[in-house]
């Protein structure tokens, strides 16, 4: 084959020549740096399209420039992980970065060293860290000491440390609203089914639940609070405990939709009708909330938007430019109440007019 007939790949200098700018300007545009004017950016991207130019990630490695960001998670909820990936990939593609996904066991004693090795080995520019690792001070201290860029996703109405880059989820307020919805339907015996204790989200949702009870003059009952795990099976196990208890609740608030779905299936298998005999509410609005029947009342947590916000913050951290116009200024998310058919008026009220309180949503 004649070498002269081979298709020569365009270089960054070819892009610069066509766009009428320096190759350094092309590099800044491709790397998502905000210091280039809008007109120059448009010329560069038009040249990139015309030449079908693709950045050389290997060359970025050799220069020591980050070519990727990492997602760190220890979460069995597949829908949560998929949403996180989707949100992060959306931002990575805009900045010509790769996404490295790293599932891990947060209980390992050497988990900090594992993360540092990963960052070094994969030339990662920074990490998006999800609970429960994002809520462990010793891990954050180690990463900070080693100058690793990161953004944390944490539970809370505000950051525990204003100096830390984080996206925080107001689980407490959302849990208050779910519990208040059940109270407004006439329920007073409301059971709380918690998640894994190492996740602060479970703790914050319990705080919101208790605040709603106290605001409405309902004395919290320790027997109504059952610890467990963020899983379907854990929901079924605790539903069994509730049915066998001396006094059944008229409603349950589960810490996530998997728990709620497991509890609801168990109740239905025992001949109870949802919501006629017992109301069930969850949290997150994952596929379990829409695949059960009746569909679950829940608090909708937009994990894709949360991941997008975290990625924008991290890329700004990596570029060391806090005035990036593309940076996401929103770092607080409050899951929103979604009322569906799994919650209804308390049967104990025996008031037919109370059915007007039930609002359903597809």
* CATH code assigned at 349: 3.40.50.2300
Q: Say yes or no: 82 and 25 in one domain.
A: no
Q: Say yes or no: 296 and 308 in one domain.
A: no
Spatial separation of the C-alpha atoms in residues 211 and 209, rounded to whole Å: 6
Contacts of 37 (CB under 8 A, 6+ apart): none
Spatial separation of the C-alpha atoms in residues 345 and 329, rounded to whole Å: 40
Q: Say yes or no: 233 and 103 in one domain.
A: no
pLDDT tens profile 107-148: 888 888 888 888 877 778 899 999 999 988 898 888 888 888
With respect to residue 112, please indicate whether it lies within any of the assigned structural domains. Answer: yes
- Is 95:312 a contact under the CB 8 Å cutoff? no
- Provide the pLDDT for residue 56: 57
pLDDT for 31 beyond 70: no
Strand partners, 332: 168
Q: Say yes or no: 135 and 214 in one domain.
A: no
With respect to residue 34, please indicate whether it lies within any of the assigned structural domains. Answer: yes
pLDDT for 96 beyond 90: no
332: exposed, middle or buried (Cβ count in 10 Å: 0-12, 13-18, 19+):
middle
- What six digits make up the tokens of 160? 């525990």
With respect to residue 235, please indicate whether it lies within any of the assigned structural domains. Answer: yes
pLDDT for 279 beyond 90: yes
Q: Say yes or no: 292 and 161 in one domain.
A: no
Q: Say yes or no: 129 and 257 in one domain.
A: no
pLDDT for 349 beyond 50: no
- Is 51:62 a contact under the CB 8 Å cutoff? no
With respect to residue 62, please indicate whether it lies within any of the assigned structural domains. Answer: no
- The mean pLDDT of the chain is 84
Angle between helices 303-319 and 78-94 (to 10 degrees): 40
Spatial separation of the C-alpha atoms in residues 38 and 262, rounded to whole Å: 52
* CATH code assigned at 38: 1.10.260.40
Confidence of residue 42 (pLDDT cuts 50, 70, 90): confident
With respect to residue 144, please indicate whether it lies within any of the assigned structural domains. Answer: yes
- Is 346:184 a contact under the CB 8 Å cutoff? no
With respect to residue 233, please indicate whether it lies within any of the assigned structural domains. Answer: yes
Going by the DSSP 8-state scheme, the letter that residue 158 receives in this structure is S
The DSSP string of 277-304 is T-EEE-SB--HHHHHSSSPPBEEE--HH
Show the domain range for 284: 171-301+337-357
Q: Say yes or no: 230 and 109 in one domain.
A: no
Q: Say yes or no: 236 and 225 in one domain.
A: yes
Higher model confidence: residue 215 or residue 348?
A: 215
pLDDT tens profile 169-207: 999 999 999 999 999 999 999 999 999 988 899 999 999
pLDDT for 61 beyond 90: no
Share of the chain above pLDDT 90, in %: 49
- Provide the pLDDT for residue 339: 97
With respect to residue 60, please indicate whether it lies within any of the assigned structural domains. Answer: no
- Provide the pLDDT for residue 347: 78
- Provide the pLDDT for residue 77: 79
pLDDT for 293 beyond 70: yes
- Is 185:345 a contact under the CB 8 Å cutoff? yes
Closest to 265 (Cα-Cα) out of 242, 239, 300, 229? 239
pLDDT for 313 beyond 70: yes
Spatial separation of the C-alpha atoms in residues 284 and 280, rounded to whole Å: 14
Strand partners, 190: 251
With respect to residue 159, please indicate whether it lies within any of the assigned structural domains. Answer: yes
- Provide the pLDDT for residue 352: 39
Q: Say yes or no: 313 and 203 in one domain.
A: no
Q: Say yes or no: 177 and 250 in one domain.
A: yes
Closest to 135 (Cα-Cα) out of 109, 108, 164? 164
- Is 328:309 a contact under the CB 8 Å cutoff? yes
Q: Say yes or no: 208 and 227 in one domain.
A: yes
pLDDT for 330 beyond 70: no
CB contact burial 131-141 (16+ within 10 A = b; e otherwise): bbbbbbeebbe
Question: Phi and psi at residue 88, in whole multiples of 5°?
Answer: -70, -40
Closest to 146 (Cα-Cα) out of 120, 171, 169? 120
Q: 162 by DSSP, 3-state: which? A: coil
Q: Say yes or no: 140 and 200 in one domain.
A: no
pLDDT for 156 beyond 50: yes
What is the number of domains present in the chain?
A: 3
Spatial separation of the C-alpha atoms in residues 170 and 302, rounded to whole Å: 12
Mean pLDDT of 13-23: 85
């Amino acid at each position: 084959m004649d070498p002269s007939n081979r298709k020569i790949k365009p270089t960054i200098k070819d892009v610069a020549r066509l766009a009428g700018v320096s190759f350094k300007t092309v590099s800044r545009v491709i790397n998502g740096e905000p210091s280039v004017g809008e007109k120059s950016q448009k010329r560069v991207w038009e040249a990139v399209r015309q030449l079908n130019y693709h950045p050389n990630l290997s060359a970025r490695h050799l220069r020591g420039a980050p070519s990727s960001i990492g997602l760190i998670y220890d979460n069995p909820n597949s829908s949560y992980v998929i949403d996180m990936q989707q949100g992060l990939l959306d931002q990575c593609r805009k900045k010509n970065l790769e996404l490295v996904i790293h599932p891990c066991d947060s209980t390992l004693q050497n988990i900090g060293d594992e993360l540092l090795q990963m960052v070094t080995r994969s030339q990662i520019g920074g990490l998006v860290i999800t609970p429960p690792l994002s809520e462990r001070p010793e891990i954050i201290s180690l990463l900070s000491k080693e100058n690793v860029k990161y953004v944390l996703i944490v539970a809370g109405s505000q950051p525990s440390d204003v100096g830390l880059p984080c996206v925080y989820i107001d689980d407490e307020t959302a849990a208050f609203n779910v519990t208040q919805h059940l109270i407004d339907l006439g329920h007073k015996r409301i059971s709380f089914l918690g998640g894994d204790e190492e996740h602060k989200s479970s703790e914050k949702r319990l705080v919101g639940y208790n605040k709603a009870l106290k605001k409405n003059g309902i004395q919290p009952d320790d027997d109504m609070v059952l610890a467990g795990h963020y899983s379907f099976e854990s929901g079924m196990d605790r539903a069994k405990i509730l049915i066998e208890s001396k006094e059944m609740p008229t409603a349950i608030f589960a810490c996530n939709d998997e728990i709620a779905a497991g509890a609801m299936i168990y109740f239905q298998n025992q001949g109870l009708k949802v919501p006629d005999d017992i109301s069930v509410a969850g949290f997150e609005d994952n596929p379990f909330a829409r695949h059960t029947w009746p569909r679950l009342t829940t608090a909708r947590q937009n994990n894709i938007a949360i991941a997008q916000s975290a990625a924008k913050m991290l890329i700004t951290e990596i570029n060391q430019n806090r005035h990036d116009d593309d940076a996401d200024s929103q770092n607080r998310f409050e899951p929103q109440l979604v009322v569906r058919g799994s919650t209804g008026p308390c049967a104990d009220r025996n008031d037919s007019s109370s059915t007007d309180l039930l609002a359903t949503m597809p």
